[in-house]
């Protein structure tokens, strides 16, 4: 459930289980492991529904992931349908925990703690201490076995790859750092090794994920490590495209922007976490910037790569947001002309500072603002897609059938639309190819393109 980071964690769990003889099955499973999401109410509800559906199958049910980590014993008490609720600390011996479940042995659910307290406050002191803390997606296999502890659960030419885990930011609306912990970078050698493993499995596009990719390397003694590392990653044999997700606008640097948008094989694509653009609301969120600074950043990006794809998420209805703040956010979205924008209504998350702020907006007003902004960004996204008619693009082929379906470089997986190749002989194309094409039409965020050379 949840984000691409959870997808990677699920594949680590699958790799650990496969190394101990467990087999993945589509039906009649002995045990179902649900990797839950604990970010917002809607995601938590989806995770609960998945756990209940798994219990209806008659299999043993185990909850892992962010919601399980965040609530532990509380979740176990409120959801007796789950045979076990496990923490990140259980991942190393996930096979043993499932053995316990199948044998009917009782497992005492954990009492959650703030995982930020497990590592030193100073980033440069974390790497040594991190070896004794369970951090999903950071573990290497034993010297005598597979070096990459991961089994792909979904095939295809695209895969997510973890840069880091955790977050040191203190955004007042976000509880993630409390259960994911402090920011910890993966060593470049581990990332390169996993990238090559994915390439050998047929992956052509890597999506680098973390809670905050722009901080990569600060705990390794080099705050600009991402700039020097990305060109090295682009040299991995078999990888044709790389995109970096979860970029913080306040941490963007001119040198990083040049590398992201000027390095061969890096998709001209910026996934920027703006969240809002009113300086007042951003300060209340404990974030930085504002409309004019954000527009200047986008202008810099388009000066380097006019074709750059830009996506973001914004929150409306944050405590204290008035009509002026909403108008400022509208101005930003209108002038920024981004390719894709997710609009979310604010909701209280227990344990966050925003819960105690004054000026909470009534729910019906939040709903109205979400609907208004969603309509606006839908219209703007359609216009932006139409502006791309006539543009040359490289389409990564993901599906071949009656049509050839894929994504252009400015389109991230699952969220930014698709590109359909208008090909006379679809069977002549192979999944994983990147086809040079020209955009000839747009349907919403989706594009229609004609191959530069027909087959």
Binding residues for [4Fe-4S] cluster: 3, 37, 66, 167, 171, 174
Residue 258 tokens, joined: 């040049």
Q: Which residues are annotated as a binding site?
A: 3, 37, 66, 167, 171, 174
CA atoms within 13 A on the CB side of 364: 0
Burial 159-193 (b: 16+ CB within 10 A, else e): bbbbbbbbbbbebbbbbbbbbbbbbbbbebebbeb
Cα separations in angstroms, 310 against 204, 265, 273, 306: 21, 17, 10, 11
Q: Which of 153, 60, 75 has the alpha carbon at shortest distance from 109?
A: 75
> Residue 398: helix, strand or coil by DSSP?
strand
**From CA 318, how far away is CA 339, in angstroms rounded?**
24
List, in sequence order, every residue forming a beta bridge with 197; answer none if it has no partner.
none
Task: Estimate to the nearest angstrom the gap between the alpha carbon of 1 and the chain centroid.
Answer: 12
Task: Mark 275-303 as b/e (b = at least 16 C-beta within 10 Å).
Answer: bbbbbebbebbebebbbeebbebbeebee
Cβ within 8 Å of residue 43, ≥6 positions away: 1, 2, 37
User: Biggest alpha carbon distance in the chain?
Assistant: 63
Q: Which two tokens stand for residue 439?
A: 């955009």
Burial of 412 per CB tally in 10 Å (0-12, 13-18, 19+)? buried
Angle at 195 (CA atoms; ends 191, 197), nearest 5 degrees? 120
């Amino acid at each position: 459930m949840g984000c691409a980071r959870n997808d990677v964690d699920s594949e680590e769990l699958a790799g650990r289980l496969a190394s101990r003889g467990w087999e993945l099955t589509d039906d009649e499973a002995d045990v179902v492991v649900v990797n839950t999401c604990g970010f917002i109410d809607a995601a938590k509800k989806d995770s609960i529904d998945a756990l209940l559906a798994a219990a209806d199958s008659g299999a043993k049910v185990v909850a892992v992931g962010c919601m399980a980590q965040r609530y532990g014993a509380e979740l176990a008490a409120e959801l007796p349908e789950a045979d076990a609720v496990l923490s990140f600390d259980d991942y190393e011996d996930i096979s043993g925990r499932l053995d316990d479940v199948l044998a009917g042995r009782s497992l005492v659910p954990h009492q959650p703690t703030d995982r930020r307290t497990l590592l030193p406050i100073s980033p440069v002191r974390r790497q040594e201490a991190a070896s004794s803390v369970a951090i999903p997606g950071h573990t290497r296999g034993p010297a005598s076995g597979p070096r990459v502890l991961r089994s792909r659960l979904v095939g295809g030419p695209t895969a997510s790859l973890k840069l880091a885990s955790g977050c040191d930011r203190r955004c007042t609306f976000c509880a993630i750092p409390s259960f994911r912990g402090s920011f910890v970078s993966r060593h470049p050698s581990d990332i390169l090794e996993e990238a090559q493993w994915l390439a050998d499995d047929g992956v052509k596009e890597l999506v680098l994920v973390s809670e905050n990719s722009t901080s990569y390397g600060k705990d390794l003694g080099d705050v600009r490590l991402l700039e020097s590392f990305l060109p090295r990653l682009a040299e991995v044999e078999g990888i044709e495209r790389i995109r970096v997700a979860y970029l913080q606008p306040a941490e963007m640097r001119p040198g990083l922007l040049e590398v992201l948008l000027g390095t061969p094989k890096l998709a001209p694509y910026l996934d920027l976490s703006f969240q809002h653009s009113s300086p007042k609301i951003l300060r209340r969120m404990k974030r930085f910037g504002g409309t004019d600074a954000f527009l200047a950043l986008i202008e810099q990006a388009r000066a380097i790569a006019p074709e750059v794809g830009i996506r973001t998420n914004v929150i409306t209805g944050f405590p204290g947001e008035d009509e002026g703040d909403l108008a400022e956010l509208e101005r930003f979205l209108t002038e920024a002309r981004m390719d894709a924008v997710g609009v979310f209504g604010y909701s209280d998350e227990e344990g966050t500072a925003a819960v105690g702020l004054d000026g909470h907006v009534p729910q019906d007003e939040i709903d109205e603002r979400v609907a208004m902004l969603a309509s606006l960004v839908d219209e703007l996204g359609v216009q932006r897609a139409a502006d791309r008619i006539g543009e040359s693009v490289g389409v990564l082929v993901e599906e071949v059938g009656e049509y050839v379906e894929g994504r252009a470089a400015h389109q991230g997986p699952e969220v930014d639309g698709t590109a359909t190749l208008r090909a006379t002989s679809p069977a002549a194309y192979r999944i994983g190819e990147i086809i040079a094409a020209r955009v000839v039409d747009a349907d919403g965020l989706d594009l229609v393109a004609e191959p530069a050379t027909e087959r």
